[in-house]
Amino acid sequence: MSPRYDAIVIGGGHNGLVCAAYLARAGKRVLVLERRERVGGAAVSEEVFPGFRFSVFSYVVSLLRPEIIRELELPRHGLHILPLESTLTPLANGDSLTQWNDHDQNRRELARHSLRDAEAYEEYGRRMHQMARAVKPLLAMTPPDPASLHPRDLLGMARLGGHLRGLGSARFHELCKLMTMSSADYLDQWFECEPLKATKSASGIIGTLAGPRSPGTAFVLLHHYMGELDGVFRAWGFAKGGNGSVSEAIAAAARSWGAEIRTNATVARVRVEGGRADGVVLEDGEEIDARRVVSNADPRRTFLEMVGEKHLPAEFVAAIRRYRFRGSSGKVNLALGELPRFTCLPQGGAHLRGAISISPSVEYLERAYDEAKYGEFSSRPYLDMVIPSLLDPSMAPPGRHVMSIFVQYAPYRLNGGWTDARREAFGDAVVNTLAEYAPNVKSAILHRQVITPADIERTLGLSEGNIFQGELSLQQMFFLRPAAAVSRYRTPIQDLFQCGAGTHPGGGVMGASGRNAARAILGEGA
Amino acid sequence: MLKTTPFHPRIAALCKSHAWRRWAGYVVASSYELSHEREYHAIRVAAALFDISPLYKYVVRGKDAARLLDRVVTRDVTRASIGQVLYTPWCDGLGKVLDDGTVARLGENTFRMTSADPGLRWLEQNALGLDVAIEDVSDSTAALALQGPYARAILQQVADCDLAGLKYFRLMAARLRGVPVTISRTGYTGDLGYEIWLDSAHALELWDALIDAGAGYGITPAGMLALDLARIEAGLMLIDVDYVSARKALIESQKSSPFELGLGWTVDLKKERFVGRSALAEEAQHEPQWRFVGLEVDWHSLEGLYAELGLAPQLPGAAWRMSVPAYAGGEQAGYATSGGWSPLLKQYIALAHLQSRWAAIGTQVEIELTVEHRRKRAAARVVPRPFFDPGRKRG
């Protein structure tokens, strides 16, 4: 008897849903099993406090692939991405730096700090645009394994080599620098304005236990320029209704093609028979057969918990054990009775509608990292904040606001471990830091939700609370993600696939892993 | 000299971009901020406030008011109930479209007609022997459009009546913080929205009331650039851009019938008599020569044209309004007249006139695209209009 499902997707995070939607669209019978009571994984919206809706975990849409939006017809299912207009960096001396989307406005503001930087900015933007263009084809690519002699990999490597040669030597050298340098060193080549360098370098450290002076962080600077290549200027934005609406739109698309989605369904293990996956066993003992199993869970949970070491080669088990998570960030969500008034720009206005970054200098960020390196949360952390209710009235009651604060560093391995008291102390450090720049914020807080890496792990099942299902560091990217020889969305187990951010190209609400995995599965003549 | 609308004092103070344009002899804002982007998104996420005062407006009163309008437009006005609004084109004697607009039945014998071009003379010419009075109220009536998912919530804050019962294409009299108005559930964005009609004397009072009531709901004054993108997503045509009025056409081929503009549904041939009826009855026997369709440009094709030159795709930030050839089967199948990149749909979309044999939904065509000074062709597909049709529009 043939099993009822062509594929079971373990985990209804956005990548799992994307994968399920593509499989269902291709006519496959798909079942998604989500452990929580709602789909979305880290991309969920919840009414944490009556009348206030939060993107509880992930809070911006970074590089959600436009082809996914089109192919899955997500706008028809309610998805609307609102652009982030600007980035405000308040400074302790009462001044500030705001980066604007508008060219003239941005130039004028930068020139206030440094005429040289204002000019360099243009050239930097052009260069990064070119580099992002060079790297972009890699994102949509199933990574070839350079050590393999399989014709598929040889062809892939040849294509990759041809692409890199096509860049020309100057750009290739630049790419090598970006791959190896620290973001602080790379930006030092371009700029002198501290808040500019610090705010830009912050994108290189997100989700990683590394500081702006750690080598290998420069590469992520490119991410900010990727979106433009798709003609989707302002690729960074808020989803209307919060990030949960991204997941809900994808789920609705998947259902429209017949995919089944079950929530409150915890998979205990993947059933492996004779070296192939043929179904799953739920926590309550229910067994569900399927022709193949696709895991959206991270590599550690997938292989070490759900599959089990006994089914896997020892070397592979060792590689997965070595795969680094090291969650380094937390989240504070605030319900506010009034808007924060920043000392630098006390009146309301456009600067509040974009991102607000507490990153006054590279040294500030590096010091924040130093504490984390030795097992403490940063007493003065890097904060990346947004106030979605300013653009989307559905997030808070009229006149009230929600503020989403991404915090780094909050190391998973905190000295003495995370406790309720430590969580609140961490929340206090965040609010105190913010209040140094916007003193009214303490009295404006109606409700506070503090989330540590330990909470992320417990609630979402993300190992060590890493938001990217594993650090986006060079040694675990591309054909090394999550480990050599399993980077093609396949695994050592036949008919078991991976579709999460623990595969290439990795984290962010991007959906690329889910789509690539679906293509790999369908390409097999599934 | 260009005239200013009754809302101009408020608009001028807010118009940071200094980007103005003309509309029917009035000066109106293209965008308020340096980019129209936020104004566009407000239409789909919060609520956008547009000054639509430049529309031509006529009040037709008298025993024969319904008869006159029924005689002029293609839809059946006599059956319109009080409080109903009809969207309709009207034609010349040969069945070619002169203009399109709305006819609102304010009372048994009172109507308000809106049009894009002046229409007093045409109404008067058709009123011979009828007991009607036609008044041009274009200057004395101010109008605002409040469009977006939160339009109702905002209006309800200031209205003295319940808006929940006001259905799509219906209107009601109301007071908004004491200002007497009529509110119609109409608009040009394809979203939930209302248009508010009032005596110009109260214009600023109403503007202030709405801005105040809308503050907690993200109310955003918006200009014509944002509106243009939204109306293309809504698949709505614009006179002088997507079609030429038969009144202004210099040659026959510039004119269009309602059938050719996708307005066949408005032509009520059960009516015994209206301007252009016999020509339209004749045309209805056949497939129209042209159809007005939506086009979706194929992204991979577009990206490929730029990639050949080592460039990332370059997309228009605002909607364009020009004639762009469309090809199929080795011939020019027609032409697009409006288009742009939809930030919401992540699609390059256009409104186009195609010869009927190429106009079926799903037909593959090509659209001309200038890439680095060279004319190229990108693949495109005929799709249904509107491109975006949220349930809240009617719900």
CATH number (domain holding residue B302)? 2.40.30.110
Q: Where are the beta strands (DSSP E) in A75-223?
A: 81-83, 86-90, 96-100
pLDDT tier for residue A485 given thresholds of 50, 70 and 90: low
Kindly state whether residues B361 and B322 are assigned to the same domain: yes
B273 occurs within a structural domain: no
Domain CATH number, residue B61: 3.30.70.1400
Whether the CB-CB separation of A329 and A410 falls below 8 Å is answered with yes
Kindly state whether residues B343 and B328 are assigned to the same domain: yes
Q: Which of A67, A70, A231 sits opposite B315 (nearest CB)?
A: A231
Q: Of A416, A486, A497, A422, nearest to A455 (Cα)? A: A422
CA distance B350 to B335: 10
Q: Kindly report, residue by residue over A262-315, the tens digit of the pLDDT.
A: 999 999 999 999 999 999 999 999 999 999 999 999 999 999 999 999 999 999
Q: Kindly report, residue by residue over A449-481, the tens digit of the pLDDT.
A: 999 999 999 999 999 999 889 887 777 777 778
Which of B176, B199, B222 finishes a domain? B222
A109 contacts in chain B (CB < 8 Å)? none
Buried b (16+ CB within 10 A) or exposed e, A457-476: bebbbbbbbbbbbbbbbeeb
CA distance A350 to A466: 32
CA distance A295 to A129: 34
- Encoded amino acid at A436, one letter: E
Q: Which of B217, B312, B317 sits opposite A133 (nearest CB)?
A: B312
B352 occurs within a structural domain: yes
Alpha-carbon gap: B122 to the closest alpha carbon of chain A (Å): 42
Domain count, chain B: 3
Among chain A residues, CA nearest to B389:
A76
Query: Cβ contact (<8 Å) for A399 and B343?
Result: no
Query: Cβ contact (<8 Å) for A393 and B218?
Result: yes
User: What is the CB neighbour count within 10 angstroms for residue A379?
Assistant: 13
Look up residue A395 and give its two tokens: 């997030």
A455 CB near a chain B CB, below 8 Å? no
pLDDT tier for residue A153 given thresholds of 50, 70 and 90: confident
Query: Cβ contact (<8 Å) for A230 and B313?
Result: yes
Q: Which of A70, A350, A390 sits opposite B299 (nearest CB)?
A: A70
CA distance B202 to B194: 18
Kindly state whether residues B382 and B296 are assigned to the same domain: yes
CA distance B72 to B90: 6
Which of B177, B206, B222 finishes a domain? B222
Q: Where are the beta strands (DSSP E) in A416-471?
A: 445-451
Question: Would the pLDDT of A234 be above 50?
Answer: no
Residue B211's H or E segment, with its range, is: helix B203-214
B34 CB near a chain A CB, below 8 Å? yes
Kindly state whether residues B69 and B35 are assigned to the same domain: no
B251 CB near a chain A CB, below 8 Å? no
A399 contacts in chain B (CB < 8 Å)? 215-216
Cis peptide before B221 (omega within 30 of 0): no
B283 occurs within a structural domain: no
CA distance A359 to A89: 7
Question: Would the pLDDT of A256 be above 80?
Answer: yes
CA distance A99 to A94: 17
Q: Kindly report, residue by residue over B70-108, the tens digit of the pLDDT.
A: 999 999 999 999 999 999 999 999 999 999 999 999 999
B268 occurs within a structural domain: no
Alpha-carbon gap: B100 to the closest alpha carbon of chain A (Å): 29
The reported pLDDT for the residue numbered A506 is 76
Q: Kindly report, residue by residue over B135-160, the tens digit of the pLDDT.
A: 999 999 999 999 999 999 999 999 99
Query: What three-state secondary structure class fits B58?
Result: strand
Kindly state whether residues B198 and B70 are assigned to the same domain: no
| Mean pLDDT value across residues B40-57 | 98
Domain CATH number, residue B9: 3.30.1360.120
Torsion of CA B30, B35, B36, B38, to 10 degrees: -150
CA distance B41 to A237: 12
Chain A, 110 to 149: residues with Cβ < 8 Å from chain B are 129, 133
Kindly state whether residues B84 and B215 are assigned to the same domain: no
Query: Cβ contact (<8 Å) for B35 and A392?
Result: no
Q: Kindly report, residue by residue over B278-330, the tens digit of the pLDDT.
A: 999 999 999 999 999 999 999 999 999 998 998 888 888 899 999 999 999 99
B44 CB near a chain A CB, below 8 Å? yes
Alpha-carbon gap: B387 to the closest alpha carbon of chain A (Å): 10
Number of A/B CB contacts below 8 angstroms equals 74
Query: Cβ contact (<8 Å) for B346 and A85?
Result: no
The reported pLDDT for the residue numbered A233 is 47
Kindly state whether residues B305 and B346 are assigned to the same domain: yes
CA distance A497 to A486: 9
Average pLDDT value over all residues in chain A: 90
B22 occurs within a structural domain: yes
| Mean pLDDT value across residues B202-206 | 98
Query: Cβ contact (<8 Å) for A232 and B388?
Result: no
Question: Would the pLDDT of A146 be above 80?
Answer: no
β-partners of residue B100 are B89
pLDDT tier for residue A141 given thresholds of 50, 70 and 90: low
B229 occurs within a structural domain: no
pLDDT tier for residue B188 given thresholds of 50, 70 and 90: very high
Q: Which domain holds residue B304?
A: 289-395
Kindly state whether residues B150 and B36 are assigned to the same domain: yes
B270 occurs within a structural domain: no
Query: Cβ contact (<8 Å) for B346 and A397?
Result: no
DSSP 3-state helix, strand, coil percentages of chain A (rounded to 5)? 40, 20, 40
User: What is the CB neighbour count within 10 angstroms for residue B78?
Assistant: 10
Query: Cβ contact (<8 Å) for A66 and B299?
Result: yes
Q: Kindly report, residue by residue over A372-413, the tens digit of the pLDDT.
A: 999 999 999 999 999 999 999 999 999 999 999 999 999 999
Query: Cβ contact (<8 Å) for B217 and A393?
Result: yes
Query: Cβ contact (<8 Å) for A80 and B344?
Result: yes
DSSP class per residue in A241-270: T-THHHHHHHHHHHHHTT-EEESS--EEEE
Residue showing tokens 């003549």: A525
Q: Which of A70, A231, A390 sits opposite B313 (nearest CB)?
A: A231
CA distance A517 to A411: 31
Alpha-carbon gap: B137 to the closest alpha carbon of chain A (Å): 36
B249 occurs within a structural domain: no
- Encoded amino acid at A474, one letter: L
Kindly state whether residues B39 and B162 are assigned to the same domain: yes
Kindly state whether residues B335 and B217 are assigned to the same domain: no
Chain B, 77 to 96: residues with Cβ < 8 Å from chain A are none
Kindly state whether residues B34 and B154 are assigned to the same domain: yes
Question: Would the pLDDT of B243 be above 80?
Answer: yes
Kindly state whether residues B344 and B360 are assigned to the same domain: yes
Query: Cβ contact (<8 Å) for A75 and B345?
Result: yes
Query: Cβ contact (<8 Å) for B314 and A102?
Result: no
Question: Would the pLDDT of A163 be above 80?
Answer: no
Which of B99, B124, B149 finishes a domain? B124
Question: Would the pLDDT of A524 be above 70?
Answer: no
Question: Would the pLDDT of A334 be above 50?
Answer: yes
Question: Would the pLDDT of A525 be above 50?
Answer: no
Q: Which of B153, B312, B346 sits opposite A228 (nearest CB)?
A: B312
Q: Of B78, B75, B97, nearest to B86 (Cα)? A: B75
